[in-house]
Amino acid sequence: MATQILLNNIEVPGLTGIEVYRKLGGYAAVEKVLKTMTPDEVSAEVKKSGLRGRGGAGFPAGMKWSFLDRKVDKPRYFICNFDESEPGTFKDRHLGSLNPHLLIEGMILGSFALGARTSYIYIRGELFYILNILEKAIDEAYRSGYLGENILNSGYSLDLHCHPGGGAYICGEETALIESLEGKRGNPRIKPPFPAVVGLYGCPTVVNNVETIANLPWILQNGGDAYAALGTQSSKGTKLISACGHIRKPGVYEVEMGLPVEEFIYSDQYCGGIRNGNKLKAVIAGGSSVPVLPAELILRTDRGEQRLLSYESLSVGGFESGTMLGSGGFIVLDETACIVKNLLTFARFYHHESCGQCSPCREGTGWMEKILQRIENGRGTSKDIDLLVHISKHIEGNTICPLGDAAAWPVASAIRHFRQEFEDHVKLQKCPLSR
């Protein structure tokens, strides 16, 4: 069984309350850090741990913190990105609803390291029930002296606020999130300047994902070296995986980085294999925004190496034969699944969620949805398949934020690996898998 850093004690009754959380060792890292460490020492431990951002990009957290402009005489802000909206991803809400104090403790530690005196948890608007859980936990933390003025007589003060979004997927992009937090329409900003220099209210700001922040208490309590000892050379620690689709045991699993994908899918400890004894057809490994891989390439690379759950292993082969770990939304499709129909669902989502700032994304996502709808409904032509590839190439890399890429990559990869299925739709003038 992999080391459980985030899901340890997750099923203990009453864990959402501060008393149970503290009995299990909660807030010990805050007490240790505020009494014995400096902000620079905290940042050094996080950098030493090798922790990478768990929101999708996988950028080293400690390095991101180091970009913060500490010279300017302005307030600094630390923001938790809880705008979990990626189709197929539900790890953050699982963690936030069952162990809210772990996230709050992580926010205190990160805020102290960055010198932030006011911090925010920006939560997806549809997760209102978790907002209530978090606000209750924050009130408990204030009453217990872990938030507010002069925390534990350390001289450090912090105010923490929850802010619900309006339900826009685009606000998962950090600069759009900042715009929304400022009360504006959630449109991504052109970068540079980056938030570490000009962020919330024009001040230095760091934005991290829920899972990233929730790792901080363990790292600061056990040391960066202990965390770095887990996982692989480039992918340290553990990872939460939201597993769903055509598997026997959907759910949220915490795995040590480097676990073989084949073991994750077929082991009874995790997904338990494919439902109804069917064959594996394809996997979208990191949420709906990453390239789709057929069974043979998700289990083995094109070089014959075993594919692992890590940033580097999943990306072997580039976008020709690899994919991305992304946010860990592991969507499994069996032989009964229609690739075209699933892509249509994704394309409809990205078209609906585009902010409309960039014409390649605004127009291109709509065109892809219409063409996929045409093919799935039996009215497509062979030219439509090549047109989809053409459109995806003109969206990718031509937008302010990665939403355009997120819409283009699944379509381009699906045609690359499952072109025959598209051609069968055109030839039969219907879905070949329809009954």
pLDDT for 1 equals: 59
The DSSP secondary-structure symbol of 308 reads: B
Mean pLDDT (whole number) for 164-188: 95
pLDDT for 435 equals: 63
Position 58 pLDDT exceeds 90: no
Confidence of residue 206 (pLDDT cuts 50, 70, 90): very high
Each domain of the chain, given as residue ranges in start order, spans: 18-228, 238-334, 339-428
Q: Which of 55-64, 112-121, 211-220, 240-249 has the lowest mean pLDDT?
A: 55-64
For residue 41, report the phi and psi dihedrals to the nearest 5 degrees.
Answer: -70, -35
Q: What is the C-alpha to C-alpha distance for residues 140 and 422, in angstroms, rounded to an integer?
A: 55
Position 237 pLDDT exceeds 70: yes
pLDDT for 3 equals: 84
Instruction: Show the CA angle centred on residue 26, arms to residues 25 and 29, nearest 5°.
Output: 95
Class of domain 238-334: alpha beta
Nearest-Å Rg of the Cα atoms of the chain is: 22
Position 57 pLDDT exceeds 90: no
Confidence of residue 34 (pLDDT cuts 50, 70, 90): very high
What CATH number was assigned to the domain covering residues 339-428?
1.20.1440.230
Rounded to two decimals, the pTM is: 0.95
Cis amide leading into 13 (omega within 30): no
Percent of the chain with pLDDT over 70: 100
pLDDT for 434 equals: 77
Average pLDDT along the chain: 95
Q: What is the C-alpha to C-alpha distance for residues 21 and 12, in angstroms, rounded to an integer?
A: 9
pLDDT for 129 equals: 95
Confidence of residue 167 (pLDDT cuts 50, 70, 90): confident
**C-beta separation of 313 from 289 below 8 A:** no
Other CB atoms within a 10 A radius of the CB of residue 34 amount to: 19
User: Coil, strand, or helix at residue 188?
Assistant: coil
Could you give the strand order of the β-sheet that contains 205-209, starting from the edge strand earlier in sequence? Answer: 159-164, 118-123, 77-82, 205-209
Pull the structure tokens for residue 274: 């494919």
Mean pLDDT (whole number) for 238-264: 97
Q: What is the C-alpha to C-alpha distance for residues 371 and 392, in angstroms, rounded to an integer?
A: 12
The predicted-structure confidence for 339-379, as pLDDT tens digits, reads as follows 999 999 999 999 999 999 999 999 999 999 999 999 999 99
In CATH terms, the superfamily for domain 18-228 is: NADH-ubiquinone oxidoreductase 51kDa subunit (3.40.50.11540)
Confidence of residue 56 (pLDDT cuts 50, 70, 90): confident
Position 264 pLDDT exceeds 70: yes
β partners of residue 238: 256
pLDDT for 302 equals: 84
H or E, element range at 40: helix 39-49
User: Coil, strand, or helix at residue 184?
Assistant: coil
Q: What is the C-alpha to C-alpha distance for residues 372 and 352, in angstroms, rounded to an integer?
A: 15
Q: What is the C-alpha to C-alpha distance for residues 194 and 67, in angstroms, rounded to an integer?
A: 9
